[in-house]
Structure 1
Amino acid sequence: MTTAERATPDTAAGLEPASAPESGATPRRFAIAVLVLGSIGLVASFALMLERLAVLADDSYVPSCSFNALVSCTEAMSSPQGALFGFPNPLLGVLGFPVVIATGAALLAGARMARWYWVGLQVGVTLALVFIHFLIFTSLYRLGALCPYCMVVWAVTIPLFVMVTQRNLRLLPSDASSGAARAGRWLQAYQAPVLAAWFLVIGALAVVQLWDAIFALFA
């Protein structure tokens, strides 16, 4: 075995090399963005959880996030989809976003996560992405109402998924010329347009589907 082929202590332990940026060092702005997005998501999830508990305690309570027939979290909380796994959906955010926050804080402090950690985080943000799109579909095509706190969670989950995905595609594969690495570099370069297009599509679907309710508010 040559020196180049011999595993370093870091790689043998599943950690990323700390030498060059291309080998896995995480940019400071990535860590800050993860920390900020996770914090926003946690605040929104916690606020929605408090509103849900208030409704459970008092059936006559009107949540602070319910403004009218279109912008309301009452429908989402009272629907079967609002407790898809047998408990209020916001609890998932209350439990999940602290992991995101801890990741951002650890990266800012200079920590280097093992590869298994990044794989686990990728699985987590991917499942979260699928789940929020199910909730988006439910809000637009089943409930006909938009929950403000829910939309905040949607708005932070999508960029978190894109950021973690482009980072893992670029840095997890050992071959920098692999298709995954190239896809990661492309996603990193066009991250802003991808996110803008993503949100525009969701916004357009919302306007088309809820046009009558939107028109009624201003009629």
Structure 2
Amino acid sequence: MTAPTTVNPRRPASAGDRADATAAPGATIGASRVFSLLLLLGALLGLAASAVLTFDKLRILENPSYIPSCNLNPVISCGSVMRTEQAEVFGFPNPLLGLAAFGALAAIGAGLLAGAAFRRWFWWGLQAGTVLGVVFVHWLIDQALYDIGALCPYCMVVWTAVVVLCWYTTLHNLRSGAIPVGPRAAVVVREAARYHWALPVLWAAVIALLVLNRFWYYWQTLI
């Protein structure tokens, strides 16, 4: 798989393929088919996980004794996570945020796949939104590991989708010129795009090690 690149339908394609490209203030910026498809599929995956979490949360509200299907053991226990204050940070179930955010991202991905292009401020907004999502997700990871002491498989799907979408959105914005970079930074961007898979894999490995270490007391009973 090659790194997603960007193409501005109103400029020569080569301009959007350079890591040091700079979009004019009033120019519109499109996206490659690879990035558009990744955004759409990643958003749909997150949307599906959020929908399941929302359904289970509503069932718990209706019947406090309801046991979600993803309650597998003392560690993998969605019910334990859903019954905490962290599951309703803003006064309503967190999955509702996922339904709204991933729904919007899916619509954007579909539009890009159809050939849509947006102005720079739109890409800046998308960048800000995905970065805020990553910050929130890592707070939830910290809470799940070190405060709640339980994991939710569907939540982990959401974590992964948010991190991957933020990373590739960042690469897209840097390579397309939506976020201007200087000549020196452009070299770093080109290398990051060349090994675009490295950061998501490293992130997943670190999270897996944290989970292994945090719940080692349980995992060792299974050996």
What's the TM-score, normalizing by structure 2?
0.85
Q: Which runs of 5+ in 1 are unaligned?
A: 1-14
Measure, in 1, the Cα distance between the counterparts of 2:196 and 2:56: 34
Q: In structure 2, what is the equivalent of residue 22 of structure 1?
A: 15
Q: Which runs of 4+ in 1 moved over 4 A?
A: 173-177
Amino acid of the residue matched to residue 73 of structure 2? N
Query: For the Cα contact (< 8 Å) 1:139–1:145, is it kept in 2?
Result: yes
Query: For the Cα contact (< 8 Å) 2:124–2:178, is it kept in 1?
Result: no
Deviations 1:95-139 (A, max 9, x none): 000111011111110111111111111011000000111111111
Q: In structure 2, what is the equivalent of residue 157 of structure 1?
A: 162
- Percent sequence identity over matched residues? 39
- CA 1:84–1:67: 2 relative to 1, 3 Å: same
Amino acid of the residue matched to residue 196 of structure 2? Q
Q: In structure 1, what is the equivalent of residue 139 of structure 2?
A: 134
Q: Which residue of 35, 58, 63 maps to 2:63?
A: 58
Q: Which residue of 201, 212, 218 maps to 2:217?
A: 212
What RMSD in Å do the two structures reach over aligned CA positions? 1.9
Measure, in 2, the Cα distance between the counterparts of 1:187 and 1:25: 20
- Kindly indicate whether structure 1 or structure 2 has the higher relative contact order, using CA contacts under 8 Å at least 6 residues apart: 2
Amino acid of the residue matched to residue 38 of structure 1? A
Q: Which runs of 5+ in 2 are unaligned?
A: 1-7, 17-28
What's the TM-score, normalizing by structure 1?
0.87
Amino acid of the residue matched to residue 161 of structure 2? V
Amino acid of the residue matched to residue 85 of structure 2? P
Q: Work out the number of aligned pairs and report it.
A: 204
Structure 1 position 107 matched with structure 2 position 112? yes
Measure, in 2, the Cα distance between the counterparts of 1:16 and 1:123: 24
Measure, in 2, the Cα distance between the counterparts of 1:180 and 1:173: 14
- CA 1:25–1:141: 2 relative to 1, 3 Å: same
Query: For the Cα contact (< 8 Å) 2:30–2:115, is it kept in 1?
Result: no
